[in-house]
Amino acid sequence: MHIGIVGLGLIGGSLALDWRRAGHQVIGVSRQAQTVAQALEQGIIDAGSTDLALVSSCRVVVLCVPLHQMLAVAQAVCPHLHPDAILTDVGSVKAPFVQALTPLWPGFIGGHPMAGTAEQGIAAAQMGLFRQRPYVLTPTPQTRPDHLACLKELVAQLEAKVILCEAETHDRAVAWISHLPIWVSAALIGAYAQEPDPCVSQLAQQLASSGWRDTTRIGGGNPELGVGLAECNREYLLRGLRRYQTELHRLIQLIEAQDRPALTAYLQHTQQVRQQMTIPP
């Protein structure tokens, strides 16, 4: 099958690598000629260009551009699509794009592979990135069953696990487990960065270990992605941040009051909630 990837970065490049390995012809379009050249040189794509017209032969076209570019790129690509083409995206927020793109292209199905790294750009693309990871698809009642079946098969070839859900439900769920943690982690780094004593800050760096590494990894990632999430999933991210603020406020009060039983009960509760969550590996 001819698959078009628009936006050759971490996610677009990684999809291209896996689908090419599965035997598909992968056509890549990106903004910069040097990115296309690099993708060709590294065998990530079969053919490439900065011209969106190149995807006109593709049965499936995947938009892998940053969130703030998604709508404009979708509008620009639609005139080039084969009439029977399936258009999908990998954006980390779904409802605004499903609402905007479905009227634009009836063969649009929202998608979100739940995998990534803190890196960005074509150099960060890697084979097997989506293996054993959830890959969300958000079909609507208007979605053609054969289109959905085709996308599910392509996702299966990534060895990812397909999860079907409504776009809005997706956005509410990822606000908790992905978008809120990014901003909480960023705030943690921001708070540390305000330590006024350079000796303390330097010693903290020397002593930092897995706890700091785990809790700050996502706050130190791609700024374009985090800002895109704050813009596109604003309502649910704000809900999460406000709830988090309330919890922090409560914890400050308990620690100030040296309320050992309440603090213990709090951590016992969070320990239990965490243990009961079945988090994919």
Residues that bind ligand NAP (CB under 6 A): 6-12, 30-32, 35, 64-67, 69, 73, 90-92, 112-113, 116, 120-122, 222, 225, 228
Name the packing angle between helices 260-276 and 234-256 (round to 10°).
140
CB of 145 to ligand NAP, least distance (A): 25
Q: Which is nearer to ligand NAP, 163 or 251 (CB)?
A: 163
Specify the length of the chain in residues.
Answer: 281
Convert 88-118 to b/e letters by CB count within 10 Å (16 or more is b).
bbbbbbbbbbbeebbeebebbbbbbbbbbee
- One-character DSSP codes across 24-47: -EEEEE-SSHHHHHHHHHTTS-SE
CB of 218 to ligand NAP, least distance (A): 9
Q: Which is nearer to ligand NAP, 30 or 102 (CB)?
A: 30
Q: Which is nearer to ligand NAP, 23 or 280 (CB)?
A: 280
CB of 277 to ligand NAP, least distance (A): 20
Q: Which is nearer to ligand NAP, 92 or 185 (CB)?
A: 92
Q: For residue 113, how far is the Cα from the chain centroid?
A: 7
Q: Which is nearer to ligand NAP, 144 or 161 (CB)?
A: 161
Convert 178-188 to b/e letters by CB count within 10 Å (16 or more is b).
bbbbbbbbbee
CB of 33 to ligand NAP, least distance (A): 8
Q: Which is nearer to ligand NAP, 114 or 262 (CB)?
A: 114
CB of 223 to ligand NAP, least distance (A): 10
| C-alpha span between 167 and 108 (Å, rounded) | 13
CB of 73 to ligand NAP, least distance (A): 5
Close Cβ partners of 234 (under 8 Å, ≥ 6 residues apart): none
Longest dimension (CA), the chain: 67
User: Which residue of this chain has its Cβ atom nearest to ligand NAP in the complex?
Assistant: 9
